[in-house]
Amino acid sequence: VSKDKKWYVKDWMTTPSSRTISVTLTVSHLKVKEPATLSPARLSKYDKIWFIGDWLECSKTCDGGMRTRAVLCIRRIGPSEEETLDYSDCLTHRPMEKESCNNQSCPPQWLALDWSECTPKCGPGFKHRIVVCKSSDLSKTFPAAQCPEESKPPARIRCSLGRCPPPRWVTGDWGQCTPKCGPGFKHRIVVCKSSDLSKTFPAAQCPEESKPPARIRCSLGRCPPPRWVTGDWGQ
């Protein structure tokens, strides 16, 4: 083989009279696989050659992955045995052990953000989240029509934080006592509300026997006795 052509071992197959190896013949920058049959006499125990395994599966199906293969420097030490040497022991150019693969862009995909809290805070409710159509590297947002509808994650699901407590009476502040002297009354608002005060229910949904009073008697003190009041003199 001339200086610009080198044999690289691919695999061994033993036959009664010789060994058949699959080799890679490098000519300039082109690699062409050629079968070759070399007798044991032509492969001495001092020959140091590259063993090149098959490429493994690419690490990604798109957006650029990596694939690897075994590359070993070996030497024959017996009729059917070889030993592995350091890479530096093989004087020819070391074949590539890894390369990029599947460099085409991935199609747009759905991205689902985190779920919100369940609302309302008791009883049956819903949780919501944002679902958007994004590029595979998440740098671009596309219209929803560019992502497959059949694989779109749900944006709303049912939830419950437990059964709600029964409605209860809620009172407002007392108003001022009227009239301003003598016996009178103070008033306040009494309503039937949900336990979290977010909803108002009809009074019939709260127990009548526990309803707080909406009016109580009051007095700001005894009124002064009546007195005469005069108007202005006429002409």
- The candidate with the shortest Cα–Cα distance to 95, out of 57, 65, 64, 51, is 51
Supply the pLDDT for residue 177: 93
Q: What is the DSSP string of the chain?
A: --TT--EEEEEEEE-SS-EEEEEEEEETTEEEEEEEEE-TTTS-TT-EEEEE-PPPPPS-SSS-EEEE--EEEEEEEETTEEEEE-GGG--SPPPPSEEEE--SPPPPEEEE------BSSSSEEEEE--EEEE-TTS--EE-GGGS-GGGPPPSEEEEE-SPPPPPEEEE------BSSSSEEEEE--EEEE-TTSS-EE-GGGS-GGGPPPSEEEEES-PPPPP---------
Supply the pLDDT for residue 44: 53
Binned average pLDDT, 10 residues per bin, the chain of 235 residues: 40 38 34 38 65 93 92 86 89 92 91 94 92 91 94 96 91 93 94 90 94 94 90 88
Supply the pLDDT for residue 45: 53
Supply the pLDDT for residue 14: 38
Supply the pLDDT for residue 19: 38
Supply the pLDDT for residue 82: 84
Supply the pLDDT for residue 235: 82
Q: Which residues of 224-235 are buried (b: 16+ CB within 10 A; e: fewer)?
A: eeeeeeeeeeee
